[in-house]
Chains A and B, each alone.
Chain A
Amino acid sequence: MKIPVKQIFKRLFLIITGFIALIFITVAIILATFFYDPTVFINPKNLDYALSRTKVLESWSWKNAEIKHEWIKWNQRRFYGGFQDLCLVYDNPDANVDTCLEKVSWNVELQWTLSRGFSYVVYEPLIVQSSKLRVTTKDNKEETPPPDLMSYWDMLWSPLIPDLDLKFSKIEIIKPESPLTFDLALVKKPNSLTAEALGFNLLATPKKINIYAPKRVLLPFDLKTRNPLYFSEIKLEANVLEKSIPIVMSAKLESAVIKIQTSVLKSSLKEDLSTPKFLSNVILATTGSVEVTKLKSTIENLLRPPYNILPAPLNVMEGTLKIAVETEKYVEKDSVLFKIKTGLDMTSAKQDLKLTVNSEVPFLLKDKTIGPVILGLELKKVKLLLPTLAKNRLPPQLIPDSRFKNSTVVLRENKNQQNLPAKIKKSPVKKGVEVDMKLQALGENALHINTNLLDQTLRLNFDIEISNGEIQKGWVQTLPLTTTIFKRKIVIPSLRIIFDAPLEPQIIATIEFHLPEYKITLQLEGPTSKPRQAFSSQPPLPADDIYAVLLFGRPLSGLDADDKTAAQKSNQIISQGVLSLAVLYYFAGSPIESIGYDPESNEVSAQIGLGSKNSLRVEGSGSGLNSASVRRALGKGWYIDSSVQKTTNKNGASGGDYGVLLERIISY
């Protein structure tokens, strides 16, 4: 029998329509049943079945589970019920969660209207009480999509999320590096959220988050301080704006006040928070500050002895330390440039220490390393007292020489441990951070150093650039200084050391020696390792005579006008260097004004100062005193010299002689 095609299509249509109608009717019946009594489907038995089929949880169990439904109107229902001793174990590649909830209960009315949509009437919030929640984190090698934190936050305030009342005691977060145990109490209402955990309280609304610590909070890591460190007055305030979340944090640690401000883009919270990109975005919006108002006492309270006392001479000073941190984009990708401004202002009766340190520290987030650091030290007002040093000898070496291998330092907690094997502190080998420094002390008051070796305060200025531990460019100079060394007045109008690598540092200095009859100026110039000296005098003298005046108190030509050998000897002496000069100057200066020995005549002579313009010179050979002279400076190069001296003429005859000479000396 041949069935027409049209008939075939008609029958096929009827079969399909009937099948769809059957499905539709079935679904309608299910929906109607679900609409009238959802507990037909959602009940502990079916839940157990579903869990066992889906294997979402690794294990589960409960007692007295109730899931109940009350028909109020067609568009208004009440759902209530609860579990007792609901225990779950959930496991995924990132974490394992093992919890037992003693009580879980809910009681809520759900209503739908055309105008308002779904709305809740909460008779009782979702109550969860637990004494066991153990979360064990895992090191998941596989990449998993990051959680969208903002969506969680938004979901929390969604009308679909009922009020919550959660109480978890003993939450254990088990991580290999830092396990953590704490209690959590959380109450969520439609427009507010309060929580308590780890000593912190949280008050939040959909637009604002406040976290504070009502009590002092122990610093979670040990800084080896004298006493445990507690933060107080910890506050965090965050405003959830349309696109970003500005955050302000503050805390106190002893006398230190710490403030940090930042802002997090909401969009970035969708990303993995551990990525350098996210970190750099957060850090770039961060500024922070620390202000320690009483640095000395804070260190005293914080650090363990003996490190709780600042080194001398700083330990008598008290003052403020301010550190402010800003951030900027760094040239390298995913890196942040920390700009740290440090201000130190300490003072005591005789000392001041006011300086700023501006540093730029690039932090490469990718490999968590520090890039080349730029450090700028500026002394604003530093007045330091040097220790009392012996005047007639070089200071002892009290700075360890880095060319020697480190000495061993052993720390024992107390005397009872003296016989126990000690913990030996070994300094680990670290890869050095490249540091470029700029050191400045400019102006009258920048750096004053007081020492018993000088009559006046030594005032220093400098401007130095250091790179790779070596001074590259800059200068150091003294401001005018007057002092007395070995009973003689010395004026240093300027002493400047110039650095210009790779050239050796150069010194340019002018030193004036104020002697009774002469003012001698020493000009030092050249490499610091071997500066060259040039003398001039007022009134002017030839170079050889200047040396003689400096060493022996009067010109050699005054002893014997033609004695070139003596002058040459003097020159030879000086050509050995300034150190020799200093040694002679020392001998010449103490206890009498000058002392000399003339090898040619075998005579010893001494000069005794008589006021600022006169000098008395006595000379003696082996047989005793045989000459004396008084010399008086009249000014502008004029002198009167009266002498009683042995004279030797060309033929070798000798005799006593007394003479007076008026002399004028000019150099040009």
Chain B
Amino acid sequence: MNLSNLFFSIIFLFLLQACASSKPKSDKLCPKIYIHSDDVIELSETENRLICGDSEVDAYKVIPSYQASYMLTGLLQSRGYSQPRFEYVGDLLHVYTEKKSYLKHVIVVSGNEADNKMVEDEVMRQYEGEIITPKLLDAIEKDTLTLLRNNTYPCAKISSTVDASIETVTVTLNGLEPFQYGVIPREEIPGVYTEALERFYPFVATDYFSESKLSLTEKRFLRSGVVQGTYFQEKCDLKNKNFSLNQQFIPGTSKTVRLGIGASTEVGPMVRAKWSNQRSGNMASLIEANLQMSFKNQYFIFSSDRYMWRETPRKSLLTTFEVERDDQTTYQETTASLKPHLKWTRDTSSREWTWTTGPTIIIGSYIDNSSDSDTKRIKTGALEGMLRTQSHTYEIFDIHPEAGDFMQFNFDFRHPSMGFVDPLLKLDLSYLRLKRLGDLGKGSAIGGIRVNTSTTWVPDEVSLTSLPPSVKYYGGGSDDVRGFKLSTLPDSNGLGALTKLGVKFEFRKTYVFIPTIESFTFVDTVFFGSRPWELDNRLWYSPGTGLRWLSPIGLVQGYVARGLSTESVRDEGNYFYLGLGGVF
């Protein structure tokens, strides 16, 4: 055999093998059903019972082949075989799965080119190349509907069809008529003024419809606990170009009392009582009281977020009153504090603002073993305030925000004239911004920055040791500089710092394997200063990376980070964390 013959023989053998391998495999799915596919098609036990028959149940012993082919069509569609072919040969059914279909084109049909383009881009961004299944169509329809409903179209209706032969999904958009929210009639809650609920709305009647703001409203109601449930009913009358909303409530009970009596080896006999009213009075205020008494420890905490002014339903008197007595073997301490603060909230078109301010009065005494059995008394006042603003985009996320911004500023002013030992002004400012940077694979790239800056302004002669921990700053932990253990920074044997400047950077990639997993890479940095408005040169920083899973029970995250410092080459080594919750 010469070389050319050998060459052609090899080519022939390759072609033969290629032909043989291109023929779909045949498998006996059931006694009378044969399946022909390039892939291995296996049935689960339930699917097998439904398609081939269930010998243990008379009613499903015999599945006629036309019924089997009907169900197989659905089953194969769910596995991505959009165009199965069925052949009845006598009493045998031959099923040809054909190839799986992948999304290659999207055609959007509506009267508005701009909307078409927007939907097409979004669908292709998220789903291009995915196997076409009913689930995919559901997801496309759902996402498109959300997109349009967040874009002034409350009555949008979406339908889709598949032409698997050209791997194209056609999405049809109907009801693209922009509407405003209008005045929303609310179901009456017995004993509650209608105006009392106005504090929960992030929009006004003349704003254009956005589904996300309705969701945010519901979340605000639920988060406050004023009702147990609420929902909006929408009515679209496109013929008359009319859209209306009304709101329903599931009020539930508002008051709870818990009473307990018992004993424990640590505190001895004890009594426990808790009362709360989450819908108090006509303005649906929140009042809560906790009492626990044992021989060793007694405390009473009362808090009231009282909305008193019907004409200004977003203004309230936020009062907290605490009395605690702690009688331990090494010390005995009794304190009472009262915080009667005013609280306002306001919504602009895209953000919520909250500010509180008011005096704080603390009275108490303590005695410990180290002292000469003298009772030390505390009697001080303070002026405290808080200003918080968050974008609606940020607020809507329950657990793990992915966009928007948040800022909070707190101050706490104490002075000898108020009873405090030294003059003190504690200032905290925290700012967070999360931004979607663009598409990255099936998911998005998200960038985040958080700045935490704080200082406690005290006279020069006041030392760190003389100040209580509550007015000082610490660092480290899953919510702070992630490469260090909780509150282990700065390196000052627990003395803390009077100034802190932390900047955290995070880059996220959503949709890692599944939509609910994201990866993240971060660098957290922090400077501390032992004096007000001063920062030491030493930088604490920790680069790291990890994964987050938005699980049904909340955010689960795990990361590895390295705690580093610019001075004395402190290296804490790798720090591993796995846990629930956590913020950036």
Contact = CB atoms under 8 A, between A and B. Distances in A.
B398 A658 contact: no
Interface stretch (A135-143, A165-173, A539-547): A539-547
Contacts of A385: 57, 59-60
B378 interface: no
A641 B258 CA distance: 14
A311 B67 contact: yes
Interface in A336-389: 348-351, 385, 387-389
Contact of B46 (A388, A641, A658): A388
A630 B90 CA distance: 67
Interface string B289-321: 010100000000000000000000000000000
B261 interface: yes
Contacts of B253: 536, 540, 667-668
Contacts of A276: none
Interface in A301-358: 305-307, 309-313, 315-316, 348-351
Interface stretch (A2-10, A69-77, A122-130, A568-576): A568-576
Interface in A106-136: none
B264 A658 contact: yes
A192 B235 CA distance: 73
A644 B165 CA distance: 67
B59 A409 contact: no
A179 interface: no
A612 B491 CA distance: 54
Contacts of A429: none
Contact of B264 (A399, A404, A572, A657): A657
A664 interface: yes
A659 B78 contact: no
Interface in B51-99: 51, 53-54, 56-67, 69-71, 73-75, 77-78, 82-93
B74 A541 contact: no
B234 interface: yes
Contacts of A579: 552
Tell which of B89, B253, B553 has the most Cβ of chain A within 10 Å.
B553
B65 A306 contact: yes
A527 interface: yes
Query: Which DSSP category, helix, strand, loop or mixed, fits chain B's interface?
Result: mixed
A422 interface: yes
A502 B236 CA distance: 6
B320 to A, nearest CB: 13
A307 B68 CA distance: 12
Contacts of B579: 599, 602
Interface in A161-212: none
Contacts of B237: 502
Nearest to A397: B78
B571 to A, nearest CB: 25
Scoring A350, A400, A561 by chain B CB atoms within 10 A of each residue's CB, the highest score goes to: A400
Contact of A659 (B56, B262, B276, B554): B262
Contact of B88 (A306, A531, A551, A575): A306
A407 B85 contact: yes
A418 interface: yes
B58 A316 contact: yes
A667 B275 CA distance: 9
B322 to A, nearest CB: 11
B326 interface: yes
A16 interface: no
B284 to A, nearest CB: 15
B241 to A, nearest CB: 14
Nearest to B297: A649
Contacts of B83: 404-405, 407-408
A387 B50 contact: yes
B461 interface: no
Interface residues of B, number: 98
A408 B165 CA distance: 12
Interface in B23-44: 44
Interface in B125-163: 134, 137, 159-163
A535 B274 CA distance: 19
Contacts of A599: 579-581
A467 interface: no
A650 B252 contact: no
A503 B233 contact: yes
Interface string A383-427: 001011110010111111101110111111011011000100000
A530 B290 CA distance: 35
Nearest to A569: B554
Interface in A218-263: none
Interface of A: 305-307, 309-313, 315-316, 348-351, 385, 387-390, 393, 395-401, 403-405, 407-412, 414-415, 417-418, 422, 502-504, 506, 523, 525-527, 530-536, 540-543, 551, 557, 561-562, 569, 571-573, 575-576, 579-580, 583-584, 597, 599, 602, 641, 643, 647, 649-651, 655-668
Shortest Cβ-Cβ A-B pairs, 8 listed: A659-B264, A661-B262, A534-B228, A313-B59, A599-B580, A526-B231, A532-B229, A663-B260
Interface of B: 44-47, 49-51, 53-54, 56-67, 69-71, 73-75, 77-78, 82-93, 134, 137, 159-165, 218-219, 222-223, 225, 227-231, 233-237, 248, 250, 252-253, 255-267, 270, 272, 274, 276, 290, 292, 326, 328, 398-399, 552-554, 579-581
13 contacts: A348-B59, A350-B59, A387-B49, A387-B60, A388-B54, A408-B85, A412-B87, A415-B92, A523-B250, A541-B256, A571-B223, A597-B580, A662-B260
